[in-house]
Amino acid sequence: MEKRSQNLKNNTSECFNTKWSKVALILMICLPASFCVQISDQSSKKGENELMTIDLTTFNLSFDDTGYEIKKGEPKRIVSLSPSNTEILFAIGAGDRVIGVTDYCDYPPEVLEKLRKGEIQKVGGYVNFDLEKVLALKPDLVVSGYGNDLEAIETLRKYTKVIAFNPKNIKEIERTILAIGKAVGNYENAEKIVSEMEKRISEIKAKEKSGKKVAHIISNDPIYASGKETFIDEAITIAGGMNVFNFSGWRIVSVEDLIRANPEVIVVSSGSGMSGGRDVVYEWVISDKRLKNVEAVKNGKVFVIDADIISRPGPRIVKALEQVYEFINS
C-alpha cells in the first residue's frame, strides 16, 4: 500500500505543485478532472421525480488523488482548502462542522454568514494558504484540492488527516463527492446528490441537439480559450455542441484564431475572469469591431456563464451543463 501511495503521489505532484501562469491563477480562483459510473437498465424506466439508480461499486473510494487512504469517519472539525470542496461539504450536510475555509470560499451563502459570525475562520489564499492558521484550528480532517501545494499537504498530514482531490471531469466530480461523503460520515447524502446529478445529465443527453460550433472564452487580455479535457468542453459535448478549439486545457488564442474558428455560439465567463463586477469579457466580444462578422456575434449568440459554476468541480457543474445546453440550442 505504501508503494502504491508513493507512486500516486509522484504522478499527481505536478498537478498540485505547478508554478501557475496567469490562466492557472484565473482558474484556481474559480476552481479550486479514471472512474466510471454505470446507470442500471431499470433506471431509465423510473418516474421523472425519482432518483437514478447508480452502481456505486464502479467508484474506487479507497484512496484520494494522492494515494492517501480514505477511511470512514465523523470528523467534528473540518477545514476546506478549496471553494469546490467547501461547496461539497455544505451540500452533503457537513457544513456545521466546517471551521476553516480559504479567502475564495464564498458559496453557499451560509458560508459568508458563518464567516461574518466568526463561526468559520479564513486560513488564507487558495494557492498560499496559511499552514499555521490551519493547524491553530485543530482540525481532525482537512479537505484539499487542485492548486494546493503537495508539500504543504504532506506537512499537514503529520498532524491530522488530509484528503486531496483533483477531478478532471464530471464522473470524477461525482467520485469526489462520494469520497468526501465517506470521509465525513455523510455518505447517504452524497449518494443522493450524485444520483440527482446523473438524472439531470441523462435528461440533457436525451434532448435534441443542434450540433453548433462553440467557443468558450475565459479572459480577453490576453484571450484565453478552453480546449479539450476541460469542464466546459465536456459540457459543450454533452449539450450537443462542438468545441472549435482542439488543443488540450486552456491556451492563449489570437483574434485571428477566433475569427478563423468562426463559432456559432460564444460562451464567456462572468466578471473579468479573475474577479466579479462588470462582465468585461462579454463587453469585449460584442464591441470589438474585428469580431463583428463572427457568426456568434453577428447573430447575437454570445452568452455569459457564471465563472464559478463552470469551473468549480462541485455539484453545481450540472447547473452549468444545463445552461450551456440552453445557450447552444436556443
252 in the same domain as 305: yes
285 in the same domain as 155: no
- What is the dihedral angle through the alpha carbons of 155, 158, 160, 163, rounded to the nearest 10 degrees? 60
Pairing of strands 54-55, 38-39: antiparallel
Last residue of a domain, one of 176, 202, 228: 202
Please give the pLDDT value at position 26. 46
Tens digit of pLDDT for each residue in 62-108?
999 999 999 999 999 999 999 999 999 999 999 999 999 999 999 99
Last residue of a domain, one of 202, 232, 257: 202
323 in the same domain as 186: no
> Which residues are CB-contacts of 247 (< 8 A; sequence separation ≥ 6)?
227, 228
Q: Assess contact for 42 and 319: CB atoms under 8 A.
A: no
Please list the ranges in the chain whose pLDDT falls under 70: 1-58, 272-277
Please give the pLDDT value at position 87. 98
Please give the pLDDT value at position 311. 87
Residue 207 in domain: no
Domain range for residue 113? 2-202
How far is residue 78 from each of residues 8, 103, 316, measured CA to CA in Å? 24, 16, 21
Residue 138 in domain: yes
What's the one-letter identity of residue 287? S
Residue 208 in domain: no
224 in the same domain as 175: no
Please give the pLDDT value at position 278. 80
221 in the same domain as 197: no
Please give the pLDDT value at position 55. 54
Please give the pLDDT value at position 149. 82
Last residue of a domain, one of 146, 172, 202: 202
What is the value of pTM for the model shown?
Answer: 0.82
